[in-house]
């Protein structure tokens, strides 16, 4: 099963991520976001970070989580490349992210993602799950 | 994406109205400034729908406006202007955007193209080293907990007091580089954490430093007042904003305001338009935090100005006085400001949201620096790196029609993703070099994303504003060298 698609949006960039379970779709959305930021082949799994995020509903939870990861990238310099969503309810997410501290000499960085936005935000169940997020880049 | 099928009523060659009747809930009509050809491409995406959606905001006055560089954003269109009543209207963080006080600063030099041409490469290398740029870059200024609060409340003055530039720089910065009402306590710890290490960094995406040369002067005496005297003179442009601090402030408050929208019984067609009454606690808190982020951005551009001056001194082996590099002006193009306008014979206090739009005050306006009182506020409109940039001045007509606002740049026509697929960085660099434009980019894919083909032609955009009487063209400059973040 395909993890995600990049979708074009005039000034920005968006992703649609898929999963048989919603947890998997959330994890793939985070992975897709980091593929916009860096070439993940060069990134090792050295650091592990646990996260807990809360929000008013499932859609906002997705945005809050992605923005939490951007915050960690900015402040701690962690490029994440793998995610495990352990708990996911309508309003709360608990997850682990694996990656490496940014090393400009080794890592190939692409676009800066400023934020995950609520624009065209979607969480949908069909065969499996798909989620859509537009980023401000 | 489907083509937008809504009604656009032609008012004249440059004005297109979306009638208030288009959607029940619109409180005012929409008005888009564009040429006939532009309207066709604007219809290609949903930006006009966003203009109509903004017209739902409680307290909106006049029109929901869009400049000719309009393109599809999130919530608000990019190029959008909306003025709401301070008394009983709302403020919307989406009307400012994530990059609060993203803006442009222009400096003029005494250098001629001929003496700079051979040194552009060296200059770009110096700038590349001395101005931290790109994704994940850290600043050279050590900023602790106390300093970050000082930056947030003092803005560009904080930098000047530490030797980064002079008091004269502040005189020609919008709001003198410090927006009033900033309260660092309204900025989250997370935002400050993101902002501290990024102080004095360019960032990535469409942010850049540009060495450019004057190609045409339309209004010689006005240009002269700005220190721009002749074709061939070299200028320097800085485009950046409030970095992670601003992004976090926006995210924090969009989240808060999404939850209070229902409490204030506000009906919105798009949740990204989350807002709160200007006078409510939430609205006031956002404005106090937004002012902090705006100040951070002005301090940022001030620090970068200083390092750029050091680079020029080093490369040209002359004193700063000989080189010039005095500021022409610094404008914010993502911001909400409290301004007073006469609407239908009544003086109103308004909250003017400019999301990818530049303030353009006319001659004689009290907020225009004394140096420019007779000519009006300089308006800085950069184009993409392969075309050109403009300097204009504000007009009375903009005060009457657009709450003293004009366009902010070229406006995208192609998504970054599409642009990246279309070309490689190296192709873009080679093509630009063949036309005498050298580039250095910090991020992979950055050049392809920012290639000329991804943008509207800024000349057409500025021409619409000029012909519509919103601003007057003064100077056109073309790039010689660009550092892309």
Residue B255 near chain A (CB below 8 Å) = yes
Q: What are the pLDDT digits (tens) for B326-349?
A: 999 999 999 999 999 999 999 999
Closest of B283, B286, B298, B401 to residue B342, by C-alpha: B401
CA distance B194 to chain A (A): 5
Residue B30 near chain A (CB below 8 Å) = no
CATH for B9-484, options being 3.40.50.1820, 1.20.1250.20, 3.90.1860.10, 3.20.20.80: 3.90.1860.10
Q: What are the pLDDT digits (tens) for A56-110?
A: 999 999 999 999 999 999 999 999 999 999 999 999 999 999 999 999 889 998 8
DSSP B184: G
Q: What are the pLDDT digits (tens) for B261-313?
A: 989 999 999 888 999 999 999 999 999 999 999 999 999 999 999 999 999 99
- The Cβ-side half-sphere exposure at A66, using a 13 Å CA radius, reads 36
Q: How large is the ipTM?
A: 0.91
* pLDDT band at B415; cut points 50, 70, 90: confident
Q: What are the pLDDT digits (tens) for B351-388?
A: 999 999 999 999 999 999 999 999 999 999 999 989 99
* Whether the predicted pLDDT of B231 surpasses 80: yes
- The Cβ-side half-sphere exposure at B281, using a 13 Å CA radius, reads 3
Residue B207 annotated to the active site: no
pTM across the whole model: 0.95
* pLDDT band at B1; cut points 50, 70, 90: low
- State chain B's mean pLDDT as an integer: 95
- B457/B445 Cα distance (integer angstroms): 21
Domains of chain B, by residue range, sit at: 9-484
- A110/B198 Cα distance (integer angstroms): 18
Residues 6+ apart with CB under 8 A from B189: none
Beta strands in B103-250 (DSSP E): 103-112, 208-217, 233-240
| Alpha-carbon torsion (B462, B333, A77, B439), positive or negative | positive
Residue B421 near chain A (CB below 8 Å) = no
Do the chains contact at A114 and B255, CB–CB below 8 Å?
no
* Whether the predicted pLDDT of A46 surpasses 90: yes
Residues 6+ apart with CB under 8 A from B318: none
Do the chains contact at A114 and B190, CB–CB below 8 Å?
no
Interface of B with A in 61-100 (CB under 8 A): 71-75, 78, 97-99
Write the residue in B194, B416, B485 that is nearest to A13 by C-beta.
B416
Domains of chain A in start order, with CATH, are: 4-136 (3.55.10.10)
- B293/B198 Cα distance (integer angstroms): 13
Residue B339 near chain A (CB below 8 Å) = no
Q: What letters, b where the CB count within 10 A reaches 16 and e where it falls short, cover A34-63? A: bebbbebeebeeebeeebebebeebbbbbb
Catalytic residue selected from B71, B408, B417, B466:
B408
Write the residue in A56, A74, A110 that is nearest to B244 by C-beta.
A74
């Amino acid at each position: 099963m395909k993890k995600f698609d990049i979708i074009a949006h005039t000034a920005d960039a968006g992703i649609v991520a898929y999963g048989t379970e919603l947890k998997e779709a959330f994890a793939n959305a985070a992975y897709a976001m980091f593929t916009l930021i860096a070439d993940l082949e060069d990134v090792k799994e050295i650091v592990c970070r646990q996260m807990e995020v809360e929000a008013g509903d499932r859609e906002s939870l997705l945005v809050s989580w992605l923005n939490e990861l951007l915050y960690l990238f900015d402040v701690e310099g962690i490029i994440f490349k793998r995610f495990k969503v352990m708990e996911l309810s309508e309003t709360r997410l608990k997850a682990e992210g694996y990656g490496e501290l940014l090393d400009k000499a080794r890592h190939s960085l692409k676009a800066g993602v400023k934020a995950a936005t609520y624009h065209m935000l979607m969480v949908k169940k069909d065969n499996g799950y798909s989620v859509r997020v537009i980023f401000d880049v | 994406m489907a083509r937008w099928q809504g009604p656009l009523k032609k008012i004249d060659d440059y004005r297109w109205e979306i009638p208030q009747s288009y959607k029940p809930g619109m409180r005012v009509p929409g008005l888009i400034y564009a040429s006939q050809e532009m309207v066709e491409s604007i219809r290609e995406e949903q930006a006009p729908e966003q203009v109509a959606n903004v017209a739902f905001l409680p307290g909106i006055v006049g029109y929901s406006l869009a400049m000719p560089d309009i393109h599809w954003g999130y919530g608000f269109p990019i190029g959008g202007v909306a003025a709401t009543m301070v008394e009983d209207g709302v403020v919307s963080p989406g009307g400012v955007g994530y990059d609060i006080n993203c803006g442009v600063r222009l400096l003029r030099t005494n250098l001629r193209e001929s003496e700079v041409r051979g040194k552009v490469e060296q200059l770009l290398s110096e700038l590349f080293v001395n101005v931290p740029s790109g994704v994940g870059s850290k600043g050279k200024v050590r900023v602790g907990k106390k300093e970050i609060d000082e930056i947030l409340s003092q803005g560009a003055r904080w930098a000047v007091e530490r030797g980064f530039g002079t008091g004269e720089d502040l005189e020609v910065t919008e709001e003198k580089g410090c927006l009033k009402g900033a309260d660092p306590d309204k900025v989250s710890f997370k935002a400050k954490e993101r902002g501290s290490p990024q102080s004095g960094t360019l960032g990535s995406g469409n942010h850049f430093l540009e060495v450019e040369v004057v190609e045409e002067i339309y209004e010689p005496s006005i240009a002269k007042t700005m220190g721009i005297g002749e074709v061939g003179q070299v200028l320097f442009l800085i485009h950046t904003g409030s970095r992670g601090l601003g992004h976090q402030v926006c995210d924090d408050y969009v989240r808060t305001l999404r939850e209070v929208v229902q409490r204030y019984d506000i009906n919105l067609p798009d949740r990204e338009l989350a807002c709160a009454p200007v006078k409510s606690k939430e609205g006031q808190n956002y404005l106090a935090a937004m002012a902090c982020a705006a100040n951070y951005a002005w301090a940022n551009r001030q620090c970068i100005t200083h390092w750029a001056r050091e680079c020029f001194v080093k490369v040209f082996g002359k004193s700063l006085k000989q080189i010039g590099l005095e500021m022409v002006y610094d404008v914010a193009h993502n911001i909400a400001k409290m301004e007073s306008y006469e609407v239908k014979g009544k003086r109103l206090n308004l909250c003017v949201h400019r999301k990818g739009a530049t303030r353009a005050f006319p001659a004689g306006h009290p907020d225009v620096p004394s140096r420019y009182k007779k000519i009006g506020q300089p308006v800085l409109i950069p184009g993409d790196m392969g075309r050109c940039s403009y300097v204009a001045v504000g007009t009375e007509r903009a005060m009457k029609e657009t709450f003293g606002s004009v366009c902010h740049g070229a406006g995208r026509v192609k998504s970054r993703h599409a642009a990246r697929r279309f070309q490689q960085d190296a192709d873009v660099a080679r093509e630009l070099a063949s036309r005498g434009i050298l580039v250095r980019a910090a991020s992979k894919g950055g050049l392809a994303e920012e290639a000329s083909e991804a943008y509207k032609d800024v000349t057409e955009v500025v021409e619409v504003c000029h012909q519509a009487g919103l601003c007057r063209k003064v100077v056109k400059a073309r790039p010689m060298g660009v550092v892309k973040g």
